[in-house]
Amino acid sequence: MSIALGGLDVLVNNAGIAGRTASVAELDSDAWEAVLRVNLTGTFTVTQQAIPLLKKSNSGLILVMSSLAGRFGYPNRSPYATTKWGLIGFTKTLSRELGEFGIRVNAILPGAVEGPRIQQVLSGRATASDRSVEQEKAVALANQSIKRFVDPADIAALVVFLASDAGRSISGQMIPVDGDSQSAS
């Protein structure tokens, strides 16, 4: 692997899929495996390839995007929630393994992010429930203190902070960006 720009300082593991919405009893094993393959194995593979490069950095950082689902159970989304919990274990393990090399490892746990995806989810829920999209939005925000979806810029700002010198002593942490959510819904 050659690095044209001189090395690697920060890895942000942000690939993931949500997978099929179904109960555990109704979910087929192929749907389960597809989510695990992308969300866990993909993160493992990219991280494993990046570690030798990060060991050469003076300020190595690995950020793992978990989710609100990595803090709470998520009905009808077992593969997604399982992988997001697994990424927390992966983060803690990497933090312990790589700290001696000065590599920091943290997980970011976003809640529902404002944008087309959450709007599509709300529209689907509205159709299924005979409620309006606004009513579904109110239901979705009812479990959190700050009554708005996460602005993607807030997640980006946290990434920049953690990658800066200001974050140099932060490692092994799970940092929610979710408006103080009390459950996944």
- 135 near 33, Cβ under 8 Å? no
Tell me which of 3.40.50.720, 3.30.420.10, 1.10.10.10, 3.30.460.10 is the CATH number of domain 10-111+151-177: 3.40.50.720
Residue 127 has pLDDT above 90, yes or no: no
Q: Which residues participate in catalysis according to the annotation? A: 80
Taking the model in full, what pTM does it have?
0.90
Residue 24 has pLDDT above 80, yes or no: yes
Give the residue-averaged pLDDT of 84-112.
97
Residue 176 has pLDDT above 60, yes or no: yes
pLDDT grade, residue 181 (50/70/90)? confident
Would residue 107 be called left, alpha or beta, if left means φ above 0 and alpha means ψ between -120 and 50 degrees? Answer: beta
Domain coordinates of the chain in residue numbers? 10-111+151-177, 113-149
Tokens, residue 115: 């944008």
- 174 near 91, Cβ under 8 Å? yes
